Amino acid sequence: MGTDTPRHITLIGAGLAGALLATLMARAGWRVDVFEKRGDPRVQGYAGGRSINLALTERGRHALRMADADDAVMRQAVMMRGRMVHALDGRLQLQRYGRDDAEVIWSIHRGDLNITLLDLAEQAGANIHFDRRLDAVDFDARIARFADGQGGLHPVGFTALVGTDGAGSSLRGAMQQREELGERTEFLDHSYKELEIPPSADGAFMMEPNALHIWPRGHYMCIALPNDERTFTVTLFLPNQGDPSFASVRNGREAKALFLRDFADAVPLIPELERDWDANPTGLLATLYLDRWHLGDRAVLLGDAAHAMVPFHGQGMNCAFEDCVSLAHHLQASSDLAQAFAAFEAERKPNALAIQEMALENYVEMRDKVDDSGFLLQRELELALQQRHPQRFVPHYAMVSFMRIPYAVAQHRSHVQRDLLVRHTAGRTSLEGIDWAAIDADVHALLPTLEDAVA
């Protein structure tokens, strides 16, 4: 192969990660082919089927900047400053995520984001083949077979395959047939349903737009994220069994009764609650673990295909975007594909596991803790310690959402910090008279500066 021949890579799936990775690789001079089972959303309309909008945070934005995609994406984003907590009696409380508007997260529309990234991938030179579902792979002959939905099958040669085909990855299935990947899926015993808050008659947002709204109710909760067309997407997370649950709330009429009892202030805002409930599917939630993400120099998985997670930290896409930057980096750094895939897996697997675990933990925090007085006192101490020790004590949410320190480091430090907050607030109702000298000594003893921690 001449040195001028562009290197070639084949991606399976042109969803969020696939479209971003295609852009990164094409811009780096690679020949990129992407095969997507759905039709082109720019022609047929977006058929996402789940989670209409997503929280975008610094990790994802950094990856978008690497692909020069940030400006285009941010034009459609709505800022969320914090959680707007809706109490049972309708009282509202805004809990800021960060210190000021430099520390916020963004709500983006999945379909718009996907279309923006597809445009950029094509502009960068990637070839996207729509209506091509991966059907089977011959790893020895390096031939992948795609179905076109009309009964046709298309064999295509490849150098290496990247699985960006999401949680139900077909490439993962094909790899698993060839070699044991150690796949394990743990379903959460909670599921979700999406509903919509339309704009008001004069086209305005019906609630405060610059917030992620939460109705915490102990074992279950509702959230709502703004869309730039002035709607909100509401998601109810509910257990599968018990009362209330998806077993006890069986149709739109019963859902309306639950909302009238537990989310009363939301009811007038969701005019089609009953109809949407009956029409929209109930989504399952699961965490996917794999022992191995790659097959020699022939195939590698990333994003949800490698490590799908529950959505409670709003990090699945952000993590998938970080994967894309990491894989692009390792592919550029080594001419040996097997080595690049192995280095990528070694870097990302511990971090994916950390955010999977933190996402599970965050469900309990969101549905049960955000309106708890002990939690709020811990949060007050957390902010005070951040001011006293900005290099050492960075709140958990900030490490995950406003920074790019590895998830595994953020997880470890968060556990140390949480333990410290719980110990020093135990039995207290305020921070008055607290022993700052003892706490400062603890911070110094237990938390190296962040720079040292990631060096």
Give the residues lining the site for ligand FAD (CB under 6 A). 12-18, 35-38, 50-51, 54-55, 133-134, 164-166, 170, 192, 235, 283, 303-305, 311, 314-318, 320
Q: Answer yes or no: are the C-beta atoms of 236 and 204 closer than 8 Å.
A: no
Q: Rounded to the nearest whole angstrom, what is the least distance from the CB of residue 33 to ligand FAD in the complex? A: 12
Shortest-Cβ-distance residue relative to ligand FAD: 15
Q: Which amino acid is at 222?
A: C
Shortest Å, Cβ 181 to ligand FAD: 16
Q: Which is nearer to ligand FAD, 48 or 374 (CB)?
A: 48
Q: What Rg do the C-alpha atoms of the chain give, in angstroms?
A: 23
Going from the C-alpha of 173 to that of each of 38, 131, 321, the distances in angstroms are: 19, 19, 22
CB of residue 440 to ligand FAD, shortest distance in Å: 35
Tokens linked to 8: 């070639």
Would you give the DSSP letter of residue 138? E
| Cβ at position 373, least distance to ligand FAD in Å | 28
Question: Which 8-state DSSP code applies to residue 268?
Answer: G
Shortest CB 90 distance to ligand FAD, Å: 25
Residues 6+ apart with CB under 8 A from 224: 197, 207, 212, 213, 232, 233, 234, 235, 266
The type of residue at 402 is F
Query: How many whole angstroms from its chain centre is CA 346?
Result: 21
Contact of 163 with 300, CB cutoff 8 Å: yes
Specify the residue, 329 or 389, whose C-beta has the smaller distance to ligand FAD: 329
Nearer to ligand FAD, 27 or 193 (CB): 193
Q: Which is nearer to ligand FAD, 46 or 428 (CB)?
A: 46
Of the candidates 6, 3, 2, 9, the one whose C-alpha atom is nearest the C-alpha of residue 302 is 9
Q: What is the dihedral of CA 411, 414, 416, 420, to 10 degrees?
A: -170
Closer residue to ligand FAD, CB minimum distance, 9 or 55 = 55
- Categorise residue 194: left if φ over 0, alpha if ψ from -120 to 50, beta otherwise: beta
Residue with smaller CB distance to ligand FAD, 53 or 378: 53
Of the pair 35, 97, the CB lying nearest ligand FAD is at 35
Name which of 62 and 389 has its Cβ closer to ligand FAD: 62
DSSP per-residue string spanning 273-320: HHHHHHHSPPEEEEEEE-S--EETTTEEE-THHHH---GGGS-HHHHH
Tell me whether residue 164 or residue 425 sits nearer to ligand FAD (CB atom).
164
Closest distance to ligand FAD from the beta carbon of 253 (Å): 24
CA 224 vs CA 235, 329, 427: distances in Å: 6, 36, 34
Q: How far is the CB of 173 from ligand FAD (least distance, A)?
A: 9
Residue 37 Cβ vs ligand FAD, minimum distance, rounded to whole Å:
4
Smallest gap from residue 323 Cβ to ligand FAD (A): 8
Q: Which is nearer to ligand FAD, 163 or 252 (CB)?
A: 163
Task: Please work out, in degrees rounded to the nearest 5, the angle formed at the alpha carbon of residue 45 by the alpha carbons of 31 and 156.
Answer: 30
Q: Report the distance separating Cα 419 and Cα 424, nearest Å.
A: 9
Q: What is the per-residue DSSP string for 46-96?
A: ----S-SEEEE-HHHHHHHHHTT-HHHHHTT-EEE-EEEEE-TTS-EEEEE
Q: Minimal distance in Å, beta carbon 162 to ligand FAD?
A: 11
Q: Cα–Cα distance between 119 and 43 in angstroms, integer?
A: 12
Could you tell me which residues are beta bridge partners of residue 56?
A: 106
What's the min distance (Å) between Cβ of 6 and ligand FAD? 23
| Nearest to ligand FAD of 126, 320 (CB atom) | 320
